[in-house]
Amino acid sequence: MKIVVTGGAGFIGSNVADAFLAAGHEVVIIDNLSTGYRHNVNPAAVFYEKDICSPEISSILHKEKADVICHHAAQASVPVSVKDPLYDANTNVMGFINLLQSAVSSGARKVIFISSGGALYGEAEEYPTTENYRPIPLSVYAINKMVGEIYLHFYKHQYGLDYTALRYANVYGPRQVSHGEAGVVSIFIEKLLKGETPTINRYDDQPDGMIRDYVFVQDVVKANLAALDKGSGEAFNIGTCIPCSTRALYNEITNQLCIWIEPHFSQARLGDLRNSLLNYQKATQYLGWKPDYNLSSGIAETIKYFKNR
Ligand code: NAD
């Protein structure tokens, strides 16, 4: 089938685009290269360097006539969303509506929307959290991901545009950048390899740092492949359901690298949740999905990538 991958020059979108191509699909990438890179764009894909807010998105989708739009393009930083809510809403809401309008008029069958299980639910009382928990977002980024999911429901009801929403936990792996504000795994690995001292952000009463659910990018890729023809009209958590503090993550990385540097500590950043852990049973039931990687095997793959770059 023909698939448009927005954000296909970024960390996760480029890994997903590679897998779609390897599975024999035609891939068209739309990315404005604001945080993505030209060198991540698979040469076998058709590439448009365009903003998803652009009026030209409509003519691109009409020309390409894709079956599925896999929407990874986003302002993807929680602290940036809190500092600049208009910027976040422009890409993550207005840009998404622009894409949905064009998807409908160009005859696309389905949208795979990338939501955030790591942010959407807020400080959830249900822990690990299922998709049934009512999200109480605590950042602009999370609010706008929730709004995106509501739009999906509207477009399916109004125009019959099918969708699957994938609520990723904290994704890590090859191609994640270490100079952004997200991506603690790549930040720790790159700093340690350079002999620099990484910083653990934390709340004073949570000395080991935030609890997160770290999922390896190839597992996330597998969820996108499954969502091409499964999971109609539903949202799914994509995580490991294994809690990991920032300190435990740090220890895993330093042990695998055999580099022991005592980290610095700093205050939690704007919008940082204390705890996040996802129950993924629904994805197993409907998508036949479960993670193949645990933290140890995923970190080993990621370290290999950073050492070989
Ligand atoms: P990324 O920044 O590497 O990728 C985002 C891509 O979108 C980049 O290539 C960027 O250039 C592109 N982009 C941004 N604004 C655009 C615009 N207006 N028009 C066209 N292209 C635009 O980030 P990522 O970590 O790969 O995130 C991909 C998706 O996954 C995002 O929707 C993000 O919200 C979501 N997500 C990521 C995580 C994570 O842990 N990394 C967790 C949950 C959800």
pLDDT in tens, 6-48: 999 999 999 999 999 999 999 999 999 999 999 999 999 999 9
pLDDT at 181: 58
Question: Is 128 touching ligand 1 by the criterion CB < 6 Å?
Answer: no
- Give the pLDDT confidence score for residue 178 in this predicted structure: 78
Q: How much of the chain exceeds pLDDT 90, in percent?
A: 96
Model pLDDT for residues 51-78, shown as the tens digit of each residue = 999 999 999 999 999 999 999 999 999 9
Q: Is there an atom of ligand 1 within 6 Å of 95 CB? A: yes
**C-alpha dihedral sign at 253, 259, 262, 264:** negative
Ligand 1: atom nearest CA of 73 is: 7
pLDDT at 269 over 90: no
**What is the rounded average pLDDT for all residues in the chain?**
97
Give the model's pLDDT for residue 105.
98
In angstroms, what is the span from residue 274 Cα to ligand 1's centroid?
22
Ligand 1 pocket mutation, candidates 6, 11, 219, criterion most atoms within 8 A of CB: 11
**Residue 253 has what pLDDT?**
98
Give the residue among 281, 263, 242 at the shortest CA–CA distance from 130.
281
Q: Are 286 and 230 in contact (CB under 8 A)?
A: yes
**pLDDT of 196 strictly over 80:** yes
94 lines ligand 1 (CB under 6 A): no
pLDDT in tens, 276-307: 999 999 999 999 999 999 999 999 999 999 99
Q: Reply yes or no on whether the pLDDT at 179 is more than 90.
A: no
Tell me, yes or no, if 141 is annotated catalytic.
yes
- Whole-number Å distance, alpha carbon 192 to ligand 1 midpoint, is 25
Cα–Cα distance, 25 to 10 (Å, whole number): 19
pLDDT at 309 (0 to 100) = 87
**How many whole angstroms from 77 Cα to the centroid of ligand 1?**
9
**Burial grade of 216 (CB within 10 A; 0-12, 13-18, 19 or more):** buried
pTM of the model: 0.97
pLDDT for residue 242 is more than 90: yes
Q: Which atom of ligand 1 is nearest to the CA of 33?
A: 11
CA-nearest residue for atom 34, ligand 1, is 76
- Please tell me which residue in 141, 151, 168, 214 is annotated as part of the active site: 141
Q: Is 283 exposed, middle or buried (0-12, 13-18, 19+ CB in 10 A)?
A: buried
* Whether the predicted pLDDT of 180 surpasses 70: no
Mutation probe of ligand 1 site: the residue of 4, 34, 57 with most atoms within 8 A of C-beta: 34
Q: Which band of pLDDT confidence, cut at 50, 70 and 90, is reported for residue 188?
A: very high
